[in-house]
Amino acid sequence: MGFYYVIMPLIGLDRFAGFVEDWEAEDVRLLGRLLAKLDDSMKEAKHREQRPGGRRRQR
Q: Is residue 7 part of a domain?
A: yes
**CA end-to-end span of the chain, whole Å?**
28
Q: What is the pLDDT of residues 12-42, one digit of tens each?
A: 888 888 989 999 999 988 888 888 888 889 8
Q: Is residue 36 part of a domain?
A: yes
Enter the pTM of the model: 0.63
Whole domain around residue 44: which residue ranges? Answer: 3-50
Q: Is residue 10 part of a domain?
A: yes
Fill in the amino acid letter for 24: E
Q: How far apart are CA 23 and CA 37, in angstroms?
A: 20
Query: Looking at the predicted structure, is the pLDDT value of residue 48 above 60?
Result: yes
Q: Is residue 13 part of a domain?
A: yes
Burial bucket for residue 9 (CB in 10 Å: 0-12, 13-18, 19+) = exposed
Q: How many structural domains are present in the chain?
A: 1
The three-state secondary structure class of 22 is coil
Fill in the amino acid letter for 5: Y
